[in-house]
Amino acid sequence: MDYNSLLRKKEFYQRYKSVLSDFIMQNYNQAFEIEYTHNSTAIEGNTVSLMETKVLLEDQISVGGKKLREIYEIVNHNKAFQYVKSCIYDGESLDEKRVKDMHAILMENIMIGGIYRNVDVYISGARHTPPSPNEAYKQVKNFYADLSYKTEMNGIELAAWTHAEFVKIHPFVDGNGRTSRLIMNYQLMLKGFLPISIAKESRLNYFDALESYAVDSDLKPFIDFIAALEEQRLDLYIRAIEQQQQNTQLSGHS
């Protein structure tokens, strides 16, 4: 990962994003949020399609033939992301209360959220087995303590570590994946980067990269995975900014 090149792109985006109209920004943000909610829930097995997710979130029309739980997962995920955005807007750093709040929002009408598990969990097909409840509780407390000491990490590395370490501990009975992806985006946005969405089609590469960390303590594959997605998102905005600048120049000459 060439972090400096990513930083230059981030700085360009931050400096010139104001040339994009509110309409374009709103359009891009809305498209991202629908895609992100769809992907993050689909990775966990939710069967609501991208178009159905759009209808649910934009038109607030329920989709037929889906389990109530799946509908709640979609609606709750979007609410949890709005909560993340409001925390970022207020400049609040990530801590235990916010993570528990996120999880509680994700689990609304499904189960009681924001409470750590007191049972063992197993991840089917994974080489890594999450720690027993007592050990998980200790590890999650260390995780929050470590959050403030990761100053040697750059923004992408910190986001990758936050996600990979949290999901390795698996502190909740359910919703660890969705929570991990939210706190990863929390860290990215706090550093001025754009939030990213991991496509459900990439889930095997995604799980492999996470497993490298959980089993071999190798974070690099996941850092590279996130950096590539961040670059794609920045490029999308940079192309729109450059197009807008070109249009302005042309209209100035006409």
Contact 147, 214 (CB under 8 A): no
Q: Which of 128, 163, 170, 253 is catalytic?
A: 170
Residue 253's pLDDT band (boundaries 50, 70, 90)? low
CATH of domain 14-116+128-244: 1.10.3290.10
Structural domain boundaries of the chain? 14-116+128-244
Distance from C-alpha of 208 to C-alpha of 14, rounded to nearest angstrom: 32
Distance from C-alpha of 84 to C-alpha of 90, rounded to nearest angstrom: 10
- Token pair listed for 181: 């992806």
Q: How far apart are the first and last CA of the chain?
A: 42
Q: Is the pLDDT of residue 254 over 60?
A: no
Instruction: Write the DSSP assignment of 7-61 as a string of letters.
Output: HHHHHHHHHHGGGS-HHHHHHHHHHHHHHHHHHHHHTTT----HHHHHIIIII--
pLDDT tens digits, 233-251: 999 999 999 999 998 888 7
pTM over 0.75: yes
Residue 253 among the catalytic residues: no
Residue 18's pLDDT band (boundaries 50, 70, 90)? very high
Mean pLDDT of the chain: 95
pLDDT tens digits, 111-170: 999 999 999 998 877 889 999 999 999 999 999 999 988 888 999 999 999 999 999 999
